Structure 1
Amino acid sequence: MFNERKAAQMAAYLLHKRGGTMSHLKLMKLLYLADREAMDRYGAPISGDLLVAMPHGPALSNTLNHMDGDVESSPGGWTDWISDQADYELMLRNPVSVEDLDELSEAELDVLDAVWEQFGSMGRWALRDYTHTHCPEWEDPRGSSNPIPYYRVFRALGRSLQDARALSDRIESHAKLDRLFAAL
């Protein structure tokens, strides 16, 4: 299940690595690639967000809503960590250290570091183009948006159909349990 605070801390960590500011598009691509890398390594995304195909490539649905200011942030959530700037730039609200990132495990930070190491020097348009050509789970939604099922990501990562379905079912089961307990 989507964890707003965790997604905000993922974004804050990447913004910190970039010096505090980054384009909206680049940050979204890095966050998507981090969730994808976590799925490859550990069988589950970091953010728990819904994956969607957008015209500019794959994205994290709820995180995008927070980036765009389309939803209200909860206490300790997105707007406590990230602020919006002009021209589709995002900025850290306050300096952060690893100790501040209480939602992220060492393994998750390792994934973010690996994604930064591989893609951090790329510009936003190069990253967009990369996800169009190297993330086969993305299919052009022709100006709209379409869900990207987790099993399709696992298949694109080379998992067998059986493994992809089992991993996807596990993520969905955990999300259902999270929703059940959140409702109590």
Structure 2
Amino acid sequence: MTRFEFDWQKAIQAIDYIASLSPGLTQYYIGKVMFFADREHLIDFGRPISGDKYVAMEHGPVPSAIRDLLKTDTGYPDEIVDQLNARLKIEPDGNKQHVFSRGINEFPRLSGSDKHYLKASLDKYGAMSFTQLKAISHKDPAYEEAWAKAGAANEMDVERWFDNFEDPELAKEQLRENALYVA
């Protein structure tokens, strides 16, 4: 399984960037925007934006660490929670968390391509219904494979995103060179 190092500072800035463009977006939509942006950026540039691992859950792919960051009780160390709270205001509403930017508007950890892919993902998926997003994300081959396994929240193998390349093995080999961990 190919994995990348999760950059929590970059993830917080990515969430903030999304929230600055679409105030009040819920954690579900932020997760899906991140999923599609990370996937497309990884395919095009050989590196994800956040480095988060994606797990297959009932409503589709979920960025595991970002999901935890957006919970009421994150379980993260104070340093991370303080940085999150400095950039974001999270308003609980039943089982939803509405996320708002505090307006810092500086994103030094995000590259130009990171911001471009986040915005493109938000533009394409941010206004879709829950049902539409669920249906689209359930068609992802890495999701389908992980969901078919026994158990819950199985990790998705991002290498599956390269199966349709002209030379998938070469693409996967190059991907592994940039990865933190391959099992």
TM-score for both structures, normalised by structure 1:
0.81
Bigger relative CO (Cα 8 Å, ≥ 6 apart): 2
Which shifted more, 67-76 or 29-38?
67-76
Matched-pair identity in %: 23
**Superposed displacement of residue 36, structure 1:** 0.5
Secondary structure of the equivalent of 2:142?
A: coil
Query: Would you say 1:3 and 2:10 are equivalent positions?
Result: no
In structure 2, the CA distance between the partners of 1:116 and 1:93, relative to structure 1 (3 Å rule), is closer
* Paired residues of 2:88 and 2:100 also in contact (CA < 8 A): yes
In structure 2, the CA distance between the partners of 1:154 and 1:78, relative to structure 1 (3 Å rule), is farther
**Superposed displacement of residue 104, structure 1:** 0.4
Once the two structures are superposed, residues 131-182 of structure 1 have per-residue CA deviations (whole angstroms, 9 ceiling, x without a partner) of 012x221122577111112212222x6463313421331232xx26xxxxxx
Structure 1, gaps ≥5 residues long: 177-184
For residues 22 and 136 of structure 1, the distance between their equivalents in structure 2, rounded to whole angstroms, comes to: 26
Secondary structure of the equivalent of 1:70?
A: coil
**Superposed displacement of residue 31, structure 1:** 0.6
Q: 1:15 is matched by which residue type in structure 2? A: A
Which of 48, 55, 65 pairs up with 1:45? 48
- Name segments (4+ residues, structure 1) moved above 4 Å: none
* Paired residues of 1:13 and 1:96 also in contact (CA < 8 A): no
Match of 2:128 in 1: 122
Match of 1:24 in 2: 27
TM-score for both structures, normalised by structure 2:
0.81
In structure 2, the CA distance between the partners of 1:171 and 1:57, relative to structure 1 (3 Å rule), is farther
**Superposed displacement of residue 39, structure 1:** 0.9
Match of 2:159 in 1: 151
